[in-house]
Amino acid sequence: MPELPEVETVRRQLEGVIVGEEVAKVEVRAGISIIGNGEEIVGKRVESVGRVAKQLIVRLSDRAGMVVHLKMTGRLVLDEGYAKSPYTRVVFVFKSGKAMYFWDTRKFGWVKIIKNLSEEESRLKKALGPEPWEIEGEELWQKLQRTKRAMKTVLLDQAVLSGVGNIYANDGLFLAGVDPRRPANSLSMDEADKVLKALQKVMERGLELGGASDNTYRDAYGRMGKYQEHFLVYGRTGEKCKRRGCIGKVIRVTVGGRGTFFCPECQK
């Protein structure tokens, strides 16, 4: 699932290829996958590729742009092989002949065409909380004090902290030794700080490994990441706890309607 490390991986790859390219054609194959009118960006040049939490921000000339959210199964790829896939929803053809494909089996994701990108970007940043590197432990602790929702649910709340998804929330809580079901306001300042540091660590690891391709995630070249080979608890139901000296086994419960994995022996 594309969370912050996956989206950042794609951003870096796209940046190196599409900056400077001029949009020649936008072919919409599934209307539901695009918000706004693709025609509006024809003739515009790509100025930069940015990211806000899990969303990609493509800045175009004349203040225009695109915001892309991959949600669960979305991909933004440069590989020509995607031209004939039945799940390719929008095709961007550049003047040079290069193409970029928005691919999404489940059609949860979208590409949004924006007239004034700066305006849209500040709206987005206002709605989203800080990314894990943009906040201190004490500030996170203060936010946690305001709710008794389960810890993992709060980590997934993009208004509290942005960019964290189910995989890194589970693995981060494991690394911090915190039970995902704990009411957020029951954490001590020290625990909140540990959770933050742990999230930063697992997400950095995810980025180093090119993201997690447990399911359908692929990078801009259509390649898999490798973080799934290093999951700490995510998807490891019944397997041995990875903490040294711990004899526990990973169990799966549902928290906030989502699959939640942890070791009941060492996450308290």
Partner DNA sequence: AATGGCCTGGTG
Partner DNA sequence: CACCAGGCCATT
Catalytic positions, please? Answer: 2-3, 54, 258
Stretch that binds DNA, among 133-141, 165-173, 188-196, 203-211 (CB under 7 A): 165-173
Q: What is the dihedral of CA 80, 41, 35, 129, to 10 degrees?
A: 90
Strand order in the sheet with 55-60: 34-35, 110-114, 65-69, 55-60, 46-52
244 by Cβ neighbours in 10 Å (0-12 / 13-18 / 19+) ranks as: exposed
Piece in contact with DNA (CB under 7 A), picked from 93-101, 148-156, 200-208, 241-249 = 148-156
Least distance in Å: CB of 221 to DNA? 20
**What H or E segment, with its residue span, contains residue 194?**
helix 189-208
Based on the shown chain and the rule CB under 7 A, indicate whether residue 71 belongs to the binding site for DNA: yes
**How many residues in the shown chain lie near DNA by CB under 7 A?**
31
Q: Does 72 bind DNA (CB under 7 A)?
A: yes
Convert 88-116 to b/e letters by CB count within 10 Å (16 or more is b). bbbbbbbeeeebbbbbbeeeebbbebbee
Closest CA to 61 of 116, 125, 128, 136: 116
Do strands 65-69 and 55-60 pair parallel, antiparallel, or not at all (unpaired)? Answer: antiparallel
Q: Quick check: 213 binds DNA (CB under 7 A)?
A: no
**Smallest gap, in angstroms, from Cβ of residue 247 to DNA?**
25
Per-residue mark of binding to DNA, 225-254 (x: CB under 7 A): ---------------------------x--
Contact 59, 50 (CB under 8 A): yes
Rounded Cα distance between 116 and 41, Å, is 12
**Cβ proximity to DNA, 23 vs 49, nearer residue:** 49
Among 9, 88, 166, 213, binds DNA (CB under 7 A): 166
Nearest approach in angstroms of CB 21 to DNA is 26
Q: In the structure encoding, which two tokens stand for residue 17, read together?
A: 């290829």
81-120 footprint of DNA as x/- string (CB under 7 A): -----xx-----------------xxxx------------
Other C-beta atoms lying within 10 Å of the C-beta of residue 45: 18
Residue 55 contacts DNA per CB under 7 A: yes
- Min separation Cβ 162 and DNA, Å: 7
Q: Which residues of this chain interact with DNA, rule CB under 7 A?
A: 1, 3, 32, 53-55, 69, 71-72, 86-87, 105-108, 127, 147-150, 153, 156, 158, 165-167, 252, 256-259
